[in-house]
Amino acid sequence: MSFRHSSLAINFLFVLFFLLCFSCKLEWNNPSDPSTQAFWETRLAEEWIVAYPRSFSIQGTVTGLNTSPVVLRSASDGSYISVSTNGPFRLDVFASPKYIQLDFPTQPTDVHCIVWDKGTWTGDGFVNAKITCPFVRTNVAGKTLLWDRCTYGSSWNPDGTSIGVGKGDCSNGAVQALSFCTISEGYNDTTNPNACNGGVNTALVNTGAVYSSCLGRSHSQSYGRGNWRLPFYTEMFSVIRCSATNTGVITGEDGCTTVGDMTKYSGATADPILFPNAQVARYWSSQTFQALGDTSVYMVDFNIGNQSYEFKDATGYVRCVSEL
């Protein structure tokens, strides 16, 4: 047999083998192996169908809004809707389902919203998408602050109903009272009062349970953010609400006794909708009170809404904050 005839025979056998292989039903279920049926089914679904732009809808719910609307947008094609009340929403888009991205060109004035869950693709659209607002938004000295709506130890539950359907709450976990500094961190009120704040009274807290509470939020990327910290006590003034019209400006240590006409919220001077489990107690700042031998820390008392201070080995609550 000539060389040419041999080549033709080999090529014929190769083509025959190829056709026989692909005419057989492939059984091995390995989506990463091109020689299996699962690979082609997955490729068809994920690349050629789901990745192809088309018209579809995203349907779900919004929770956690308070007094102003949020604008939800598909970054892929610019489609958007303004949602002013908690409850169901529908956004019609023309985009790739696989690469769909949602953002918020306009956030509410008092809370800050995120995509909690993009939902489930059904073949016709996304269902059970979840948009929620786990932050309170304030502005202090030109900085936009995003406050955890939940006292440390608890976390945001977008489906929580303890303060009303659609409003969300802090029913995940339970609040914890923490000490700023203890003997285990080297604290001694006479010989080492600044054990947890860099060794000097001008430094901020840098170790201990209170410090770790907000650092842990950064490490775990709570609500998708990684820049959590303990607030300054003056920043906490921005979330105090003494009355229906008061904006939270505190003068001296009289707090809500002086500012506002009366305490609007029974007990804690924090809006119970914005802060569902605010404690009628003191919350730690990151700063040492530079008096009394550096043994105390600036705090804000959400009982009467005033500036306060407490010994470092006492207990208080924590509300972590991040900067936008």
Stretch 15-43: mean pLDDT: 53
> Mean pLDDT over residues 152-159, rounded?
97
Considering only residues 211 and 124, tell me which one the structure prediction assigns the higher pLDDT.
211
137 three-state secondary structure: strand
**Which residues make Cβ contacts (< 8 Å) with residue 12, sequence separation at least 6?**
none
Could you list the beta-strand ranges (E) of 110-198: 111-117, 120-121, 125-140, 143-148, 154-157, 169-173, 178-179
Supply the Cα-derived Rg of the chain in whole angstroms: 29
Q: What is the mean pLDDT of the chain?
A: 85
pLDDT band at 46 (very low <50, low <70, confident <90, very high): low
Amino acid found at 27:
E
Confidence of residue 98 (pLDDT cuts 50, 70, 90): confident
Question: How do residues 52-93 score in pLDDT, each as one tens digit?
Answer: 888 999 999 999 999 999 999 999 999 999 999 999 999 999
Q: At residue 248, does pLDDT exceed 60?
A: no
Identity of residue 207: T
Question: What's the confidence (pLDDT) of residue 128?
Answer: 97
**Greater pLDDT, 242 or 271:** 271
Which residue is it, tokens 């505190």? 250
Taking the C-alpha atoms of residue 56 and residue 91, their distance in angstroms, rounded to an integer, is 9
- Give pLDDT, residue 25: 46
Is 314 a residue whose pLDDT tops 50?
A: yes
pLDDT tens digits for range 205-221:
999 999 999 999 999 99
Helix/strand/coil percent split, the chain, to 5? 20, 35, 45
Looking at the chain, the whole-number percentage of residues with pLDDT higher than 70 is: 78
